[in-house]
Structure 1
């Protein structure tokens, strides 16, 4: 392995696993462990466990499991080496002696994309504070953004030139190919390559690990078009997966238990600077299921504060379904027409804006009030249209008390019976089954036997390992994955958490579940169980061999004398096996 075990152990010793995973998931105490919503699949009931004492995580819904390094690798879709480098940076561990030029050349495309984006982020930040950034600084001053906010969110400036960034990145050793793949450069039909972002204020898009993965560039004059220019979709940047500002807001969101969602980046910066820190921005995109699931990992409720015009309110309406389906409680704030969160906050101040947030309407009032603006809601046909829009939203609310109260409210406002909105039989939502995992499937007797032997090895290899070395070998296991795991345990003279770094996904998930279970095989009972399992496994092997001899005896021309001798030998071995093991 590129990094010695002692270096990996030093990194893990300096980073608390629960604290680190809390960057991605809101964790709550569950005995000695922590529990939260899994970041690797959609769920509404927490099945994701973290054990700081054992240094592992495990989801009992989708089966994902591992340690600090594999968590970061999988959640950010980067290589193991890049995960180690990022964690070493956080832990203050120097890896320079282990990183050779040869290893740098092996960096994956994703690693290079993160590196080139980070280099561009630093370049844009430097340009903002240098002479070319004077007009951009004036624009930001006009928006009343402080130097602290500019630095905290790493705002920058793309110079008004065709190849300034191109030259800088080339000087730093990045190929045109990787810069094009990152969307920092573009190539025209004539084959000319030039900077994508020019004469724009730059907003870096940062993921939950603090890695720059893309950019939004805004023009300095509203007369120029397009007003906003975004990085294209890349392997490390998917616009519908990231919420602007979440990396800065997540701790405030967990503390408040709720999130304020605005549309624009400047809206967010103004409110965050003004003291409303539990805030994210959708960055002008339609709200996605992935974004909703991400928010659900940190809080239970969301308040949408979009622009007061029709476009803003329509955007709020589109996001409601997705947020409710993710299990979030949704409230909506409607600003005065022609006002956005940025302008309204500056005019009204924090106290008034905070009061406005507390008065956000629930989905029943929001839908009915929208209809009431342009239609007479006492007319039966209009009531019917309201119910058709509102009923699926109300039926989708997971909290039974909240669902019942909103149905009552809607029925009261429309002067109709509750059953006409959501029939009683549709109000108890069936629990969705967790995705089936290997642990939940019916397994053959042989697999259960092999599985249990490995479980005992993981839980107490100190006593059980000598027995396995004496009586078994990896080839006795029918599953290639189990052979792989046993080989790894034998080579390392027992199971340790560091083995998770080397195992494939299937065995990593399996061992994480066993290790996290906390079941102990200490004492004579565990040793006796291992002896019994070894006996059964050896017996199975001998019985299979004897059954094969029976088949061969039935074949024409079989050497019956030799086969019968072998059959008798196997029978004797089976009869003496138990005595051998117990001895």
Structure 2
């Protein structure tokens, strides 16, 4: 693994990779641009071909070519490694006996299956008519490579075998299953087919919606394979990631139709869980792009319950979660078909999850005593999950104003609430565990180190910041010294060591004098 990393770094220039995402301008020996990780008007993002690294003086993002790809593409390290290996033409050493050829065959057979399903759709007028009747236009069909699987039992299997793919590869790709006698049959039959892709846009699985009313189940996903794990893949993330990063929030919907029509309406930061519950793995993928989400599930009781569970999971992991009020009996796809602008308005009026679910309870429960019980049962446990004390205070104040319940009573009940925790689904994300929490002194020292490294490329304005940082650092060090000297003085006084007491007292006076001079200097700047 280490050898592959070094080889990729030797073959790829960070400037060439970064320039594919942002426009770089020469700045001394380095290059600068507006940071792709936060909104800014003046470029503060620098790339050094000499050090093969980047640093943003606006948001503090920094790292090498791998860090950049991880952040910009929303990938884990191994995924970024594969992404860059392909760019560099480097063959990776696969572990546990898994060969590159094996995965290539799986990608290849899935690509052939996608093309086959696309062709089948063009030749099936009833299926095509159904898709267009749902409001999906021709451009969207092509963009999302929507297809159709006929009702025949072995049509896809026979086609793939005619192209030279053996039964084992087709089976491993999740395209066929075996009968008791070992005879293969197609997994997807009589279904509208939606290809699911990885972060690089390569097809890794399929989701099929029943075309005929008699076909069961209504939705069917590929089984888990070497390329696809249902609980980790968000449908549409490969197309939505750039928009999610730029707008700093993601819209999560339930179904494939909801997803493609939301994109067709111009809401390009939409993704779907696609036939499974919203999981922590989904959130970890989204976290690399944004920690803000809007849940827009179907306007029925099942959709509301799913949104409540997803809200609790998101809030517990530190996400800012809002919920869109989809009209009762409708879903996002139906709203878009009726009026795309109405869909955008529904999203604009989304509310913080706590407020949304309180509104739902308040609308159903007119008895004030029963309303209080529902708040205790459903709303307070959700507030308990909120990490910010300020946010908790805001929601408690909101509840008090709207119900007449005194804040101190709500706080008392909130303190008694046990924080919900499912160890299988709710745990601190791995990303947070890897990021050390720096003290103020460490943060300033790190910033000064970066200024020194990039000094030649930085504008004159950074000199003033450097002076201020150095003064702040001096102040912190002086106060640390003062604290240590005070501890030592207390010990000396306890030992009745008068000589040491006198010496420490002089040192303390000197530190106080230095602190006063530093404060006077700051006033003059």
The answer to whether TM tops 0.5 is yes
State the SS of the aligned residue for 1:112: helix
Residue 135 of structure 1: aligned partner: 126
State the SS of the aligned residue for 1:306: coil
Aligned residues between the structures: 401
Deviations 1:125-160 (A, max 9, x none): 23323x3x3332222121121121111111112233
Residue 476 of structure 2: aligned partner: none
Cα displacement (A) at 1:406 = 1.7
Distance 1:417 1:433 in 2: 39
Kindly report which structure 2 residues correspond to 1:449-488, keeping only aligned pairs within 5 A, or say none.
none
State the SS of the aligned residue for 1:241: coil
Unaligned residue ranges in structure 1 (runs of 5+): 36-45, 59-64, 100-104, 441-515, 521-583
Distance 1:418 1:318 in 2: 26
Q: 1:68 to 1:270 in 2, by over 3 A?
A: closer
Q: 1:169 to 1:137 in 2, by over 3 A?
A: same
The alignment's TM-score, normalised by the length of structure 1, stands at 0.59
Deviations 1:467-511 (A, max 9, x none): xxxxxxxxxxxxxxxxxxxxxxxxxxxxxxxxxxxxxxxxxxxxx
Residue 87 of structure 2: aligned partner: 87
Q: 1:519 to 1:168 in 2, by over 3 A?
A: farther
Deviations 1:350-386 (A, max 9, x none): 333322222222223322223234433511x541331
Are positions 1:235 and 2:226 aligned together?
Answer: yes
Residue 397 of structure 1: aligned partner: 386
Residue 222 of structure 1: aligned partner: 213
Structure whose CA Rg is larger: 1
Residue 375 of structure 1: aligned partner: 365
8 Å Cα contact 2:8/2:85 also seen in 1: no
Q: 1:416 to 1:212 in 2, by over 3 A?
A: same
Q: RMSD in angstroms over aligned alpha carbons?
A: 4.2
Q: 1:278 to 1:376 in 2, by over 3 A?
A: same
Residue 205 of structure 1: aligned partner: 196
Cα displacement (A) at 1:122 = 2.3
State the SS of the aligned residue for 1:303: strand
Are positions 1:288 and 2:288 aligned together?
Answer: no
State the SS of the aligned residue for 1:214: strand
Are positions 1:119 and 2:112 aligned together?
Answer: yes
Cα displacement (A) at 1:271 = 1.8
Distance 2:283 2:401 in 1: 30
* Bigger Cα displacement from structure 2, 151-160 vs 162-171: 162-171
Kindly report which structure 2 residues correspond to 1:4-153, keeping only aligned pairs within 5 A, or say none.
9=11, 14-16=16-18, 19=21, 27-28=37-38, 33-34=54-55, 49-51=62-64, 55-57=65-67, 74-75=78-79, 83=83, 86-87=86-87, 106-107=99-100, 109-129=102-122, 131=123, 133-153=124-144
Residue 155 of structure 1: aligned partner: 146
8 Å Cα contact 1:313/1:334 also seen in 2: no
Cα displacement (A) at 1:434 = 7.9
Q: 1:134 to 1:86 in 2, by over 3 A?
A: farther
Are positions 1:319 and 2:305 aligned together?
Answer: no
Q: 1:164 to 1:27 in 2, by over 3 A?
A: same
Unaligned residue ranges in structure 2 (runs of 5+): 23-34, 39-43, 48-53, 93-97, 420-427, 438-448, 454-525
Are positions 1:407 and 2:377 aligned together?
Answer: no
Q: Of the two structures, which has the highest relative contact order with CA contacts closer than 8 Å and spacing of 6 or more?
A: 1
Q: 1:161 to 1:9 in 2, by over 3 A?
A: same
